[in-house]
Structure 1
């Protein structure tokens, strides 16, 4: 049997546990090209039974479609901008020289390829206050000591004083003025960093497990991610022309990457083009790749266009890859042709996946330690920012960014563990056991005030949402160490991957969210839309009956997401529609706090005025009364 992937045929071994794609890089290059050019895969599975057992033929090929030459398709403005840009140069090069604080429409599209978005402060009224967000490109989330310190400085000197860790293992720097763009970009480039291709219609940052384990499989997965990133990096030089006057400040590429890029044996390249893989049009939209090892789903592998899984033998030596294709989170409200989708495997099924956060202290395997630190929504600011800089600078540490917006300090000597732990605690960077479990897995996109696509709040709103969920947990009797994966986005584009959450809140109007239910803690199942247009102040009315019934009707160790899938949307909706509040005596805190139903309902009305639940308000009243009595004594 063979599997055809983008024209590359590979024998499937007799061992049903492994699709043995060669570990040479050319095989991956062929696959990537086919998907990049068409993004259409036709996967045909046929199964037959025989006395020797089941067999499987798997074919995945890009399907050429002959265009109908009688009717020319209407071209988008962005396609025209790209084609006429001299490979992403014009008119951006001219717009950057004008006195205006912003750039024109064409340049706004082109600067994305350079790793930047034009934004303005949507909280301000009157004339728009333009600035630029810069996003770095960090395959595997690797950040050198020098680059971290430079990014920290740039945030203070030219940004809004904060760094943001993204869900694709990169930095975002907000608030850079147009007049400072070249200074900031050149500083990043000369510090061996890059923003090239961090945004725009091309391959985005390639994910890989951030843990700095000295293990063959992890090291090979990270090397593979770096090679894919190098292979799919634009080649026409527009980035360096714009920001460092044509000086190409790069380390030499591995020869296998150069060879793979120049290989056109499958007819996937653009001959004699400055961009042999992308051509003048680049891609129709963004493209995402993740690499990992079996069981390690720290990269949310099912959400990527291509997932590459390094499969090793019992000694940890890489033997091949399993390939996943077709994942994606982007969608548009009320447009059914757009929808989130899980990637599907082209090889055999692997061991069960597990989400790994890598928070806390861990052995690297080479005598050193690493420490994973939780950062709420990836926003590094204030005392935390100062503390991190002092530690990273003092101990000359390299760092890594995780796909869950956290940061890892690498290569720590055993003797440094105690002083670093003390310094981190003083800076508010607590060990995971001291962080609310709800916060540990929660994520949100930036949304307001700078994202032009935001419909409602996400990053600024999630802290209060998590507090309200914690209050509901207490009210229905859920234990403190129980948790639900919550992700919030300000629009349906899915930057924080809400469609994989157990509870996803997707902005669909002012202070309004679409609720998705059904992801699981290991990020292997897709959530389903449950309810539209839920106003922020009405969240308790929806979530309280769901959490109450989960607490009482779940199976042993059943997660909230699995419970909602097993129960089904119809029954869940019935729970919400018929909810009349927690039965008297059923709450952990016993709602006999209220003498009668009328008192409860009156308290509920007052609570809503303060955006709280009746239970929260009642508990506050009691605490305040107790405090006043104690102070009186």
Structure 2
């Protein structure tokens, strides 16, 4: 079926803004040429599609009203791959124009902070000219496609990485790419994405049947793009390094012994964002949709996106993610609608998968004969100072490829056997004597940036996570508990650090106050649940101590999250202090 664009007089403000933008071009293009220190609200909302958020640095508002307005910039890097040339450009830009730091995100990309509006075109243009892109890193569009970052050349890993690249190209907006190049590299079309032959063939079908939006310019997305952001992740059986069930579409690849793609298990409807005191918003894990053969994987991906394009809520933005469509309509309706109107190939039952694990690839690993990679733990993902300078020297000297993980860590790849000793010595000088053995609590803990730059932040996250982990570590030692637990922290309920999958999560809900969420599992298969609405951070230890003691008394056979689920909501409530 051909789906017409909605009538202009029925559109919400957000939808009208997209429709009037000439495919994400105006008023952004005009405002790039003025002398204002910040963009207008209309331009800011379009700026997201180009990979940037305008931020107001709260600690500079009173002292430097000009510098307090800054741009955060996020890259598009499927599977977390950052070539040496791109990393060196990012490092130079962050030092010369940004705040001197880079930050690895929980979607395997780099963020830059502190960019003045006047310098934004230079920064994005330089990124594009050095093998990078920021297009669709934010906005109502498909975001960065995730995949296991480990550059193993065995099993399903090469197929998963290739599929992530293909999906990123398949779901790239057609007209918006032209606008992007117009704005940032003066329309130089030589920087267009160059999809593979297989992707080109599938993209042709975006102008056919129910997948077609009705817009010749944007055949898949339509002139108003998606109702909200959209996220895709690809992995191999048993590897849950990408938090598969939190994606709008999660794919698990199955391969032939040769490594060729055989097909994928497909999961749909995951998502983390929610709002405090609004029960109609919630975190959700994905439902299994079915198994699809290799030749139809790309088609099913664009068909699912088209279904969300047409049926996602465009009136109430907090209700617009695909997870709410699955919640409201159910997986049976979703599957039937998909196969009736969008996807004509066969969907069968899921293939068996091994029990998933949260893999992190820290330490040294063989990439293939004669090549190695090393995973480096980066608590909160922040690169700055001597560490950032030292990594630059290594990348520049050895021309190493970087791959970023969903856990905010960093892999140095393509290390020759003869280079290992020199790189190992240099890493030791940077503090990575044993990169495979970070502190247990810090190993998988992640936090969002929060204050002072994020406009949504209610309280602290990244800047205080190290202290929170030190406090928890001291408590576990005092209680003589030798096991660890998965901790995540955010400064607001939007869930950028995926806190609702953690065994213990702190979600900002006031100045130095947090919701306490418990019950996720170490392999990221269960949603946590909120047990304390406003927990003063100073009361953290005394609040959770009865639960930790109960866990210890149970013998430690289960993880902390599994123990919480075994206790049940009533059992947990009985152990929490009455003031909590």
Does residue 124 (structure 1) correspond to residue 127 (structure 2)? The answer is no
Partner of 1:610: none
Q: Secondary structure at the match of 1:574?
A: helix
Does residue 89 (structure 1) correspond to residue 25 (structure 2)? The answer is yes
* Structure 1 residues not aligned, in runs of 5+: 1-6, 8-33, 38-63, 581-633
Cα distance between partner residues in 2 of 1:123 and 1:577: 36
Cα distance between partner residues in 2 of 1:251 and 1:510: 44
Cα distance between partner residues in 2 of 1:200 and 1:416: 41
Partner of 1:627: none
Cα distance between partner residues in 2 of 1:252 and 1:302: 30
Deviation string 1:97-139 (CA, Å, 9 cap, x unpaired) is: 1111001010010000000000011123434720100000000
Does residue 108 (structure 1) correspond to residue 50 (structure 2)? The answer is no
CA contact (8 A) 1:383 1:428 kept: no
The CA deviation at 1:272 is 4.9
Cα distance between partner residues in 1 of 2:12 and 2:545: 46
Q: Secondary structure at the match of 2:163?
A: helix
Partner of 1:185: 124
Does residue 170 (structure 1) correspond to residue 86 (structure 2)? The answer is no
Does residue 325 (structure 1) correspond to residue 261 (structure 2)? The answer is no
Q: Secondary structure at the match of 1:364?
A: strand
Cα distance between partner residues in 2 of 1:391 and 1:92: 38
Q: Secondary structure at the match of 1:577?
A: coil
Q: 2:171 aligns with which of 222, 226, 232?
A: 232
Deviation string 1:432-461 (CA, Å, 9 cap, x unpaired) is: 454211111100000000000000101011
Q: Secondary structure at the match of 2:571?
A: helix
CA contact (8 A) 2:387 2:430 kept: yes
Q: Secondary structure at the match of 1:409?
A: strand
Q: 1:153 aligns with which of 88, 92, 100?
A: 92
Q: 2:75 aligns with which of 119, 132, 136?
A: 136
Partner of 1:538: 539
Larger gyration radius, structure 1 or structure 2: 1
Cα distance between partner residues in 2 of 1:490 and 1:75: 32
Partner of 1:261: 203
CA contact (8 A) 1:216 1:317 kept: no
The CA deviation at 1:529 is 1.1
Partner of 1:520: 521
The CA deviation at 1:420 is 0.9
Report which stretch shifted further, 371-380 or 342-351.
Answer: 342-351
Cα distance between partner residues in 2 of 1:506 and 1:402: 22
Partner of 2:186: 245
The CA deviation at 1:167 is 0.5
Cα distance between partner residues in 1 of 2:554 and 2:173: 53
The CA deviation at 1:269 is 1.3
Report which stretch shifted further, 509-518 or 537-546.
Answer: 537-546
Does residue 418 (structure 1) correspond to residue 421 (structure 2)? The answer is yes
Q: 1:379 aligns with which of 379, 382, 386?
A: 382
The CA deviation at 1:542 is 1.1
Partner of 1:564: 564
- Counterparts in 2 of 1:425-444, with a 5 A limit? 425-444=428-447
Cα distance between partner residues in 2 of 1:251 and 1:489: 34
* Structure 2 residues not aligned, in runs of 5+: 291-349
CA contact (8 A) 2:159 2:259 kept: no
Q: 1:401 aligns with which of 392, 399, 404?
A: 404
CA contact (8 A) 1:303 1:341 kept: yes
Cα distance between partner residues in 2 of 1:579 and 1:549: 19
CA contact (8 A) 1:541 1:576 kept: no
Partner of 1:511: 512
Using a 3 Å threshold, how does the CA distance of structure 1 residues 73 and 572 change in structure 2: closer, same or farther? Answer: farther
CA contact (8 A) 1:504 1:515 kept: yes
Give RMSD over aligned pairs: 2.1
CA contact (8 A) 1:309 1:323 kept: yes
CA contact (8 A) 2:158 2:259 kept: no
Partner of 2:480: 477
Cα distance between partner residues in 2 of 1:78 and 1:325: 25
The CA deviation at 1:216 is 5.0
Deviation string 1:206-238 (CA, Å, 9 cap, x unpaired) is: 000000011252111111111110011111111
Cα distance between partner residues in 2 of 1:210 and 1:412: 15
Cα distance between partner residues in 2 of 1:268 and 1:136: 27
Using a 3 Å threshold, how does the CA distance of structure 1 residues 578 and 197 change in structure 2: closer, same or farther? Answer: closer
Does residue 361 (structure 1) correspond to residue 364 (structure 2)? The answer is yes
Cα distance between partner residues in 2 of 1:343 and 1:489: 21
The CA deviation at 1:273 is 2.1
Q: Secondary structure at the match of 1:310?
A: strand
CA contact (8 A) 2:49 2:136 kept: yes
Using a 3 Å threshold, how does the CA distance of structure 1 residues 209 and 573 change in structure 2: closer, same or farther? Answer: same
Q: Secondary structure at the match of 1:173?
A: strand
Instruction: Count the aligned residue pairs.
Output: 513
Deviation string 1:508-553 (CA, Å, 9 cap, x unpaired) is: 1111100110111111111111111001111112122221221112
CA contact (8 A) 2:78 2:147 kept: yes
The CA deviation at 1:337 is 1.2
The CA deviation at 1:274 is 1.4
Cα distance between partner residues in 1 of 2:152 and 2:163: 15
In the superposition, the TM-score normalised over structure 2's length comes to 0.85
Does residue 76 (structure 1) correspond to residue 12 (structure 2)? The answer is yes
Cα distance between partner residues in 2 of 1:313 and 1:267: 32
Q: Secondary structure at the match of 1:346?
A: strand
The CA deviation at 1:418 is 1.8
Higher relative contact order (CA 8 A, sep 6+): 2
Does residue 98 (structure 1) correspond to residue 34 (structure 2)? The answer is yes
Cα distance between partner residues in 1 of 2:355 and 2:271: 21
Cα distance between partner residues in 2 of 1:74 and 1:431: 59
The CA deviation at 1:430 is 4.2
